[in-house]
Amino acid sequence: MAERRTLSATPRTVLGKKVRRLRREGLLPANVYGRGLDSTAIQLDGRAFRRVIRQAGVRSMFELAIEGEGEPRHVLVRGLDREGGTGDPIHVDFYQVDLGRPIQTTVAIHLTGVAPAVDDLGGTLLQNLETVAIRCLPLDIPDAIELDVSALTDFETSLTVGDLRVPERVEVLSAPDIGIATVDAPRLQIEGAPGADEEGAGEAFEADAAGGAAEEAAAEG
């Protein structure tokens, strides 16, 4: 079971365009909703939220402790608005999950081990798929799924979703033939191919041509 990080929040009474004032105070406006639940307006410390997201990743499940409530809520981030599209978060939507109902989500794929085609043959390890879709109970969501790349012994071998070893009670929804990792062969410069030697060859040709012209002029004289 993955470790759950806690986010602390307080009920929010400032709504609409007035939330700009909250952001100036370092607070992050948010809403939490769920199946059969009314949406609740809350606010969080913006810096603390950014720190937790950097540590756990935006796809993780969190325990959301709202001031005045006895038990934390288990939530997923379902909407995250950022300043300018890529800047600091300016609003977040949390989805409160039902711990007894399976959900669909995505988790990161982490490559582990050493690929012989990299160490022995000088290739470059390529990861073509960063996340995989899964289905499981909320408390069974792993932080990540690991894939050992030690089977990549040459440039023709590839690892796919079907090679993932997932925890019990976790169902992978992505197609098993989707590629995850390969090793790209090193690019070798072929001797005599167009490139750095062309400039030297051109200079030699010009020198030969100049020498030939001088010899012709001497013969005519």
74 lies in some domain:
yes
> What band does 86 get if pLDDT is binned at 50, 70 and 90?
confident
Residues 130 and 22: their CA atoms lie apart, in Å, by 35
* Same domain, residue pair 107 and 157: yes
198 lies in some domain:
no
Please write the tens of the pLDDT for every residue from 119-134. 999 999 999 999 999 9
- CA 56 to chain centroid, in Å, comes to 12
- 148, 57, 32, 29 alpha-carbon torsion, rounded to 10°: -170
- pTM exceeds 0.75, yes or no: no
Give yes or no for residue 214 having a pLDDT over 50: no
* Same domain, residue pair 25 and 82: yes
Q: Domain containing 148 — which CATH number?
A: 2.170.120.20
pLDDT of 191: 56
197 lies in some domain:
no
* Same domain, residue pair 120 and 175: yes
> What band does 190 get if pLDDT is binned at 50, 70 and 90?
low
List the one residue out of 110, 117, 186 whose CA is nearest residue 151: 117
Which domain covers residue 51, as residue numbers? 5-96
190 lies in some domain:
no
Number of domains forming the structure of the chain: 2
Task: Give the mean model confidence (pLDDT) for residues 110-118.
Answer: 96
* Same domain, residue pair 30 and 91: yes
Give yes or no for residue 44 having a pLDDT over 50: yes
pLDDT of 87: 87
pLDDT of 52: 93
> What band does 221 get if pLDDT is binned at 50, 70 and 90?
very low
* Same domain, residue pair 47 and 87: yes
* Same domain, residue pair 67 and 86: yes
Please write the tens of the pLDDT for every residue from 72-83. 999 999 999 998
Q: What's the sign of the alpha-carbon dihedral 48, 108, 151, 1?
A: positive
